[in-house]
Amino acid sequence: QVQLVESGGGLVQPGGSLRLSCAASERIGVGNVMGWYRLAPGKERELVARIGSLGTTYSADALKGRFTISKNNAKNTVYLQMESLKPEDTGVYYCNKFPNAVTWGQGTQVTVSS
């Protein structure tokens, strides 16, 4: 089963930016939709963005214009560029297949705070 390793999180001030990476242990390009999910304190895990096998993207309405998902098929890596970060963006970010998730990775913590 594919293994997913997220990285790139950290502590950032409001208004700052981060770029998250998700390295997959196998090819993610053909036939796979990959998503970035967020688990915020006190909330359920939610999908924030996804990208199709041909590169078509979707972002949650509240995040459009701030979060951008992309991928590099040759590197089996999916990215999430996050701009203008807000305290409510704080949480653990995971990547996984969409909609049928496989085993979750450890995620990467994003903390937005001054």
Maximal C-alpha separation, the chain: 41
In DSSP terms, 57 is beta-bridged to 51
Q: How many CB atoms lie within 10 A of CB 109?
A: 14
Residue pLDDT tens, the chain, 114 long: 889 999 999 999 999 999 999 999 988 767 789 999 999 999 999 999 999 988 899 998 888 889 999 999 899 999 999 999 999 999 999 999 999 888 999 999 999 999
Residue 37: phi, psi to the nearest 5? -125, 155
Q: Is the peptide bond before 14 cis (omega within 30 degrees of 0)?
A: no
For position 53, what pLDDT does the model report?
A: 87
Q: What is the distance in angstroms between the CA of the first residue and the CA of the last residue of the chain?
A: 39
For position 29, what pLDDT does the model report?
A: 61
In DSSP terms, 51 is beta-bridged to 34, 57
- The single-letter DSSP state of residue 59 is E
Distance, in Å, from the CA atom of 1 to the CA atom of 19, rounded to the nearest integer, reads 26
Distance, in Å, from the CA atom of 84 to the CA atom of 1, rounded to the nearest integer, reads 35
